[in-house]
Structures are given as structure tokens and as C-alpha cells.
Amino acid sequence: MEIIKTPIADLLIIKPDVFFDERGYFSESYNKEKYFAQGICQNFLQDNMSKSSYGTLRGLHFQQGEYAQAKLVSAVVGKVWDIAVDLRPNSPTFGQWHGVELSDENHLQFLIPRGFAHGFSVLSETAIFTYKCDNLYNKQSEGGIIYNDETLNIDWKIPAEKMIISEKDKYHSKLKNKS
């Protein structure tokens, strides 16, 4: 497994070992011992999965306070553009974001620590997306940032007229209200 650092501290891309042969491939999607040996020491408690069609944009979401969550995310079918925004108050990269393409072809994972907002857009016809979370979801602690916040200026890699966005995600507040 290879750990790829991003320009934002603690935000990591993980390239697992994938073994191919004439039958297809095999890969460990998670092995606690191996991840802990690499310094990735989250105790994951909950797994989530979503299926979405092209143009779907989910985010930007986060959990606050004692319910904050670190996430290990990947696309097991299709291709997504995955985004993490640093919301850690004392971070030198507060308000900065990093994106990575996750797909069933590149097998990459994105480790998003606590203190980040997260979202993704679906670039393929369909995508199945998995999340490992180190804390349980709590509805009262959820928060969001509007996907088209001009201070973030995120390119979601899909045309605005093709975006499929939930009603809830259309009305999140801007980043400037989070500092």
C-alpha cells in the first residue's frame, strides 16, 4: 500500500495493493493492522454505501463537535470527483480544498480526517461509493457548506445544468459563516 500526501496536512490518498490475474483482481479494501502500521489509526465504527447516477453532487457535508467523523472513502463502481475542505479552525490551510478522482479503475482511497467537509460528484454513468466512518452519524450534528461557494471555487467537473443536487444541499451556508 502506498500513502500519498496532499498539500493539506493529514489529508491522504491511499493506493492499496491490487493483484491482477486472468480472473480479475483482488485487493484488501481495509486491514486495520496495515493501516495502523502506516499511522492511520482511526477506529472505524460505521460503513456507508451510496449509489448515484451521472451528475449527482453530494455535499459538502460534515459532522460537528463530539460527532465529528473521519472518513475513508472509495468508489467501488464508476468514477467520482471527491473533495475535502479543511474546516479545522487553527489550521494554516483552513478553507482550502483538495480533490481526487476515485474510481473502480484506479482503486484509490481518500482519508478525510475529522474537521473536514466532504462531497463528491459522479463522473460516470453510475457510481457506488463507500465510506468508512470513525464515529456514528448524528442528525443533530450535521452541517454543510454550499457546493457553489464562490470563495472555494470548486470545479465539480460536471456542467451546472447536469448537476443533480438534493434540496438540502442547495441551501447550505457559505464557508465564511464557518470561521
Q: Is 131 in the active site?
A: yes
Active-site pick, 61, 107, 118, 172: 61
- Give the three-state DSSP class for 168: helix
CA dist 79 and 99 (Å) reads 13
What is the per-residue DSSP string for 64-122?
-GGG---EEEEEEESEEEEEEEE--TT-TTTT-EEEEEEETTT--EEEE-TTEEEEEEE
Q: Which of 98, 118, 131, 172 is catalytic?
A: 131
Residues catalogued as catalytic: 61, 131
